[in-house]
Amino acid sequence: MARIVMKFGGTSSANTDALRLCAKHVARQLNSGDEVAVVISAPSGMTAELSKKISEVDEKSKHLDETDLILSSGEQINAGLLVIILREMGLKARSWNGWQAGLITDDNHGEARIIEARTGDLCDSLKAGEVAVMTGFQGVTKECRITTLGRGGSDVSAVALATAIQADRCDIYTDVAGVFTADPAIEKNAKLIPELSPEEMLELASSGTKVLHSRSVELAMSEQMPLRVLSTFKAGSGTVIAKGLETHLVSGVTYSRDVSQISLMGLAGGIDSMQQLFSALAKKKINIDLVVQSSTRQTGLSNLVFATSKLDHDRALSVVRSDGLSGLYQNLNSVQEMTKVSVVGLGLRSQSGMLEIFFRALAEANIAMHAVATSELRISALMPEHMIESAVKALHFAYGLDKTST
């Protein structure tokens, strides 16, 4: 007998027909003798709709605690519906809100982090043969205020629950057959990757691969929790992500739309100015994703390009325009609607020629990059949003990902 956490995403639970399908998967897992805890998302689109409604009354996002109460309600509806369906099938089941399950978070409303999981009661219910259906995406502060974990956060709830209850595996059911070499919605020739190491998956997720939230992969990696990504709608073994599994020279091409770009031209003062700028941004908790510095023809001056999330764009701008910093550079340019396209793979660190393939593929597709950055496992380029599709396709082809999934 194993203990399995099954997470169903928004598209897998968008309506009652889809929920009935989720219930069938749960019944199958139970029939094989396992204990089953379920983590359920809101029906797809509902969280975004609720968010829109909130902005009608809270334009400046000042009431983040109440926002969380509202945003977390979609998951609650689905948890109740799924439990009713399971009971109507003759199975024992009950719902658990994040707070009932004991998922305690910090008070960073909207992007809360789980700091403790007191899941004793939920484990007792599993041992008694009940299916525990927990709402994803939400937790509670020590002061009993409801929090949410950030968009896409049900994946984080699932892995957190799996580690807290010492599950044998966490299965993420979604609308695609697993993790592919590129987003199958964009690249029809994308191939399913049957096995991935946690390091590869983390790099894919943190550079934009939406199928798993990067924090869920981080947690699974540190807690050595095996993950499986598979389809709710189509039979198949999906993608297994676990320590010691096969690794790939290039795992995939990925993109993130959540990028904005700020360029400072004619920056004086070299490293000292950069230190001043980035420490001011860090003080405001603005995450910087990609930094490229290049020298100019004028001695002592350089140009600096960096990326932030779209959400942080305005705050980042006001920091670099602030009195103490605006004198450090000559011109400022910013674009809020940017994207970052990346190639990810363990082979990028050791194989010469990988960067050349990247530049050649984008040049041949007539894609003008705004900045390029490399790390051990990734090559990323900033580009305007409308170029995503052609860039993903060009890179997918250039690295031979359409031919093989290794």
Q: Which positions touch ligand ASP (CB under 6 A)?
A: 9-10, 41-42, 47, 74, 136-137, 151-154
DSSP string, 293-321: EEE-SSTT-EEEEEEE-GGGHHHHHHHHT
Residue 374 engages ligand ADP in binding (rule: CB under 6 A): no
Burial, 312: exposed, middle or buried (Cβ in 10 Å; 0-12, 13-18, 19+)? buried
| Cβ 39 to Mg ion shortest distance, Å | 11
- 93 forms beta bridges with 131
Rounded alpha-carbon distances, angstroms, from residue 287 to 137, 209, 278, 308? 22, 19, 10, 6
Task: Give the Cα separation of 114 and 99 in Å (integer).
Answer: 11
Strand duo 302-308 + 252-267: pairing: antiparallel
Q: Which residue is nearest to Mg ion (CB)?
A: 152
Residues 401, 182 contacting (CB under 8 angstroms): yes
**Which amino acid makes up residue 185?**
A
Q: Which is nearer to ligand ADP, 171 or 312 (CB)?
A: 171
- Give Cα separations from 206 to 39, 77, 106, 341 (angstroms): 22, 29, 22, 12
Among 210, 248, 378, 396, binds ligand ADP (CB under 6 A): 210
> Is residue 238 within the footprint of ligand ADP (CB under 6 A)?
no
Stretch that binds ligand ADP, among 16-24, 205-213, 278-286, 352-360 (CB under 6 A): 205-213
In the list ligand ASP, ligand ADP, Mg ion, none, the entry touching 302 (Cβ below 5 to 8 angstroms by class) is none
**Residue 152 interacts with Mg ion (CB under 5 A)?**
yes
Q: Please identify, using beta-carbon distances, which residue of 9 and 238 lies nearer to ligand ASP.
A: 9
Q: Are 334 and 261 in contact (CB under 8 A)?
A: yes
Copy the structure tokens of residue 40.
């359920």
Sole window of 2-10, 130-138, 361-369, 389-397 interacting with Mg ion (rule: CB under 5 A):
2-10
Please identify, among the stretches 31-39, 203-211, 312-320, 367-375, the one whose residues bind ligand ADP according to the rule CB under 6 A.
Answer: 203-211
Give the residue, chosen from 135, 141, 148, 174, that forms a contact with ligand ADP under the rule CB under 6 A: 174
Residue-by-residue DSSP string for 351-380: -TTHHHHHHHHHHHTT---SEEEEETTEEE
248 near ligand ADP, rule: CB under 6 A: no
Rounded CA-CA distance 103/216 in Å is 15
In the complex, the smallest distance separating the C-beta of residue 208 from Mg ion, rounded to whole angstroms, is 13
Q: 136 touches which of ligand ASP, ligand ADP, Mg ion, none (CB within 5 to 8 A by kind)?
A: ligand ASP
Structure tokens at 236: 């198949």
405 contacts ligand ADP (rule: CB under 6 A):
no
Q: Residue 41 or 263: which CB sits closer to ligand ASP?
A: 41
Nearest approach in angstroms of CB 142 to ligand ASP is 23
**Single residue of 18, 71, 170, 179 touching ligand ADP by CB under 6 A:** 179
Query: What DSSP line would sit under 156-169, residue for residue?
Result: HHHHHHHHHTT-SE
- When CB distances are held under 5 to 8 angstroms depending on the partner's kind, the choice from Mg ion, ligand ASP, ligand ADP, none that residue 185 binds is ligand ADP
Binding to ligand ADP by residue 99, rule CB under 6 A? Answer: no
Q: How far apart are CA 395 and CA 354, in angstroms?
A: 11
* Out of 78, 141, 209, 302, the residue judged to bind ligand ADP by CB under 6 A: 209
Closest approach of ligand ASP to the CB of residue 235, in Å: 23
Cα gap 156→114, rounded to integer Å:
9
Token pair listed for 139: 């937790």
Tell me how far, at minimum, the Cβ of 22 lies from ligand ASP, in Å: 14
Binding-site ranges for Mg ion (CB under 5 A): 9, 152
